[in-house]
Each structure stands twice: as C-alpha cells, then as structure tokens.
Amino acid sequence: MTKYIVQGGKPLFGEVDISGAKNAAVAIIPAALMVDGVCRIENIPQISDVTMSLRILERLGAVIRSINPHTVEIDCTRIHSTRTDYELSRKIRASYYLIGSLLGRFGQAEVAMPGGCNFGGVRPIDQHVKGFTALGAKVVVEGGFIRAFTERGRLKGANIYLDVVSVGATMNIMMAAAMAEGLTVIENCAKEPHIVDLANFLNSMGANIRGAGTDTIKIQGVDRLTGGTYAIIPDQIEAGTYMAAVAATGGQILVKNIIPKHMDCITAKLIEMGVEVEEHEDTLLVRRTGDLQRTNIKTLPYPGFPTDMQPQITAVLSLAKGTSLVTESVWNSRYRYVDELKRMGANIQVDDKTAVVEGVDHLTGAPIQAYDLRAGAACVIAALAAHGESEISGVQYIERGYEDIILKLQALGANIRSVEVDEEDAVSVRIG
Ligand code: EPU
C-alpha cells in the first residue's frame, strides 16, 4: 500500500505544467473505438484511469502504440468483441462510455456496470439509458453487465431531452448518435469543456456534431469515422487544484499549459478569497500573501463552480477568516472528506447539501484517509498547509486523476513524499 507523507506549513513557489484533462481522455479513448482507422491522441494524461481505459480497448481488439508518454496511436480497425472485460471495466466509472461507442459503431454493447469513485449516494445512469432507448436500442441488465443492442443493426436519430444536466449522458448519447442514421437533437445538455473536446475529437475523425458547449447539440449521423490526430485539452480541475493549493499554503506559482477561460469559475472565487490571479495567454500566475477571506460557494454545471473542486475549495476555506457556506448542488452527497479535515482541526458542520465552514487559524497534521479522487486532493491541500506531519492513505484514488502529483508538488517546494507501507503499516521502501 502506498501513502503520502507531508510535512506541511511551507508556501509553494515555482511553476507547474498541467496535464491533459482526465474527464476528456476517459471519453475520447472509448470514442476512438468508433474510428475505422488509426487515430493519434496527444496530451494524454498518465493516470491510472487512462491506463485502465486503454487496457479495456486492447482486450476488445484495439492495437495501441505508445509514441511517447503523452501520445498514443489507437487502431480499432479489427475490433473482435463488443463485450468488455468485466473486472477491468467495473473498476472505472468512465467505462460506461463504451456503451455509447460500441452501440454507435456496431449496434451492440455489453459493458460491466460502472464503478469509479464512491463519494456517497447513488450515481444513476437512467439518462444515458433514456437516450440509447430513444435512438432505438434495447437496454437490459444481465449478470452484472449492461447489454444494449438494436435489432435493425444501426441506431436511428431522435430528439432527446435530458431531465437532468448530465455530463456522462450528454457525451454517451453524442457518441452513439455520431453514427446513427439521420439527425439527433439533444436538449438540456451539459456544457463542460470536455464535452466540447469530445465533439471536436469526433468531428476531426469525420463526425458532424454542432452546438457542443451550448444546451442543444445537433448530430447528423455519418456512416464511418476515419483516422486523424487530436490533442486533448488541459485539465481544468488539475489546474484548479494547484491554484487551491497555493491559496491554502501561500506563495506564488505559475500554472502553465491551461485555457484561462475554463478557469474563470474557479479564478473568480479565489479572487473573492483574497488570492491574486494574473491571466496570460495560456498560463495563470497565482499568488497569496495576505489572509484568506470567507466566501460562499455553490456547485453548478459548467460554467458554474465545478463540483470536482468542491472538496479542495472547502479545504482552503477551512483556513479563511470568517464563516463560509458551501452548497453541493450537483451530487446528493460529497462531504465524506469533511471528517478527515476535522481530524486536522477544521471546524466544519455539514447539514445535508450545505457545509458551514468556520475558518480556523491553522490546521494540524494528522493521519487522514482519501475516500475518492477529489477528497484525496482536499486531503493533500490541507496537509500541505497544516502545521506538522500528515500521513495520507487511500492515495490510489488520487492517482486515478492526478499525473505525477508528488513530483509536481516537490518542484513547487512542497515537502511531500510517497512511501510503500507493508500490512502492519511499517514504512519499508521509499519510492518518491
Ligand atoms: N444523473 C442522473 N441520471 C443520469 C446521470 C446523472 O440523475 O443518468 C445525476 C447524477 O446523479 C448527478 C448529476 O446528474 O446528481 C450529474 O451527474 P453527471 O452525469 O454529470 O456526472 P458523471 O458524468 O457521472 C462526470 C465526471 C465527474 C463529475 C461529474 C459532474 C467523469 C468520468 N466523471 O460524472 O467527475 O463530478 O461529471 O461534473 O467525467 C471526478 O472527476 O472526480 C468526477 C467525479
């Protein structure tokens, strides 16, 4: 088991390069399966969810060639199965995108019920199913698999109104419709940057998708997608996490290789909290020298404040002057990490979807546990800012979505390292 050991209390200084977006990559890799040819994907983040997605594709018959650590070529001309590996695909949430891509290209798909981060509450996929059904598929659950198929061999375009704004349903239906017969119109779509990225990827392979990034997406189905080259956008949430880290510790960092427009919803809140943010073409200079001020945050679909930054910003607010209110309105429950922050001295009360955060003067290092990816990021931020040593367990969740987090933080001057511990929790081998 791996743990992170953090000696907190050091301000961060330096530069950090942001990797490709996880939530774009985990959709674009399954979408590559629809391409009858070779597609080269650049700016792929090296994270475990991506490794897992590529492995699932390989088992279906894709030939994958690594060109360099961030570029792969995927050849899906000889897919020999439409049933995904059960053990692999149940490990990641994004395996549900294989339903859209397999169904779109082959008219059938069998995918294990998706797993992924469990931050409490249910994570339904009824809107995905509603979309596939509207496109003419039958969807059943059998033996732990979701089986979707169409008797006519090809889906048929339709008008689909989503009852909830869902990132996953928008992308999954977009994939399935890309090769359906005729026009599909999806209304009440999510507008996250990775939705635009997936549409751009599919269009660069020959799809005809318009309106991604607005709440109505129109997809004229095509017969075939052919190969090409595509570069994934930078990760908005990874960038936001480093911005939150310097807000918590103080210091000054240059966040590089980003699209500043994607960061507006996060930047605006940090500025309210007294953080200085200077915008350049593809970088942000983030500085915090004075006290952190309180603010209120409500998570919303893009362009609102992202739910995937809620735990990290709450960790920062736990050190702000005054009382802040944080309201989670995307997920039913996403506050499991709060108990970990409380172990460090944070004063936070959660009532249903709202956290009341009473700022404290400082946090104190403690043994804490990451229960999911963003909760893990919040633990790291709190530990970096705390007085004394923290030991973070559950770091496999963090590594699902943050490439080289230890090396990137060390380059900013953080005292953090990764250690391997044996079953009795004794530290045995230092690895980072
Ligand atoms: N929802 C439904 N029915 C559905 C789908 C969603 O009721 O069929 C509800 C959900 O329960 C939730 C809301 O709609 O309350 C939004 O869910 P959404 O479908 O947008 O989430 P998702 O696609 O499953 C992606 C990201 C999450 C991120 C959310 C919201 C991926 C692989 N995951 O999940 O990312 O929190 O969008 O932005 O893209 C993360 O990166 O840490 C993460 C959890």
CATH assignment at residue 382:
3.65.10.10
Say if residue 200 is in the same domain as residue 313.
no
Alpha carbon nearest to ligand 1 atom 4, residue: 125
Say if residue 152 is in the same domain as residue 67.
yes
Say if residue 108 is in the same domain as residue 84.
yes
Question: Which domain-ending residue is among 221, 256, 286?
Answer: 221
Q: Which domain holds residue 370?
A: 2-19+234-431
Structure tokens at 141: 């659950």
Q: Tell whether 31 is covered by a domain.
A: yes
Are residues 382 and 344 in contact, defined by beta-carbon separation less than 8 angstroms?
yes
Question: Which domain-ending residue is among 188, 221, 254?
Answer: 221
Q: Can you say whether residue 136 is alpha, beta or left, with left for phi > 0 and alpha for psi between -120 and 50 degrees?
A: left
Say if residue 15 is in the same domain as residue 26.
no
- Dihedral sign for Cα atoms in the order 125, 131, 133, 139: negative
Say if residue 38 is in the same domain as residue 120.
yes
Looking at the DSSP bridge assignments, the partners of residue 364 are 387
| Enclosing H/E stretch for 426 | none
Residue 261 φ/ψ, nearest 5 degrees: -60, -40
Q: Tell whether 226 is covered by a domain.
A: no
What's the gap in Å between 89 CA and the centre of ligand 1? 17
Q: Report which ligand 1 atom has the smallest distance to the Cα of 372.
A: 42
Say if residue 28 is in the same domain as residue 15.
no
Say if residue 152 is in the same domain as residue 300.
no
pLDDT band, very low/low/confident/very high, at 117 (cuts 50, 70, 90):
low
pLDDT band, very low/low/confident/very high, at 422 (cuts 50, 70, 90):
confident
**Tokens 């004229």 sit on residue:** 220
What string of DSSP letters covers 41-76? EES----HHHHHHHHHHHHTT-EEEEEETTEEEEE-
Measured from the Cβ of residue 218, the count of other Cβ atoms closer than 10 Å reads 17
Averaged over 169-192, what is the pLDDT? 98
**Tokens 């269009």 sit on residue:** 203
Structure tokens at 91: 């490990």
Task: Please give the C-alpha separations between residue 412 and each of 14, 253, 276, 407, in angstroms, as whole numbers.
Answer: 5, 8, 18, 9
Decide: residue 429, CB within 10 A, 0-12 exposed, 13-18 middle, 19+ buried. exposed
Question: With pLDDT > 70 as the criterion, what percentage of the chain qualifies?
Answer: 96
Q: Can you say whether residue 425 is alpha, beta or left, with left for phi > 0 and alpha for psi between -120 and 50 degrees?
A: left
Say if residue 180 is in the same domain as residue 79.
yes
Say if residue 285 is in the same domain as residue 187.
no
Averaged over 9-14, what is the pLDDT? 98
- Dihedral sign for Cα atoms in the order 179, 181, 183, 189: negative
Tally of structural domains, the chain: 2
Q: Tell whether 228 is covered by a domain.
A: no
Say if residue 54 is in the same domain as residue 196.
yes
Is 76 one of the catalytic residues?
no
What's the gap in Å between 329 CA and the centre of ligand 1? 12
Q: Tell whether 227 is covered by a domain.
A: no
Question: With pLDDT > 90 as the criterion, what percentage of the chain qualifies?
Answer: 90
Cα angle vertex 370, ends 21, 415, to 5°?
80
Question: Which domain-ending residue is among 192, 221, 250?
Answer: 221
Say if residue 252 is in the same domain as residue 152.
no
Task: Give the residues surrounding ligand 1 with Cβ less than 6 Å away.
Answer: 23, 26, 93-94, 117, 123-128, 164, 166-169, 190, 307-308, 330-331, 373-374, 401
d(CA 210, CA 174): 10
d(CA 212, CA 220): 13
Catalytic residue among 117, 189, 265, 379: 117
Say if residue 246 is in the same domain as residue 395.
yes
* Chain mean pLDDT for the chain: 95
Q: Tell whether 386 is covered by a domain.
A: yes
Give pLDDT tens digits for 55-99. Answer: 999 999 999 999 999 999 999 999 999 999 999 988 888 999 999
Per-residue pLDDT, 122? 63
Residue 354 has pLDDT above 80, yes or no: yes
Nearest Cα to Cα of residue 43 among 22, 61, 58: 22
d(CA 273, CA 47): 31
- The gap from C-alpha 370 to its chain's centroid, in whole angstroms, comes to 16
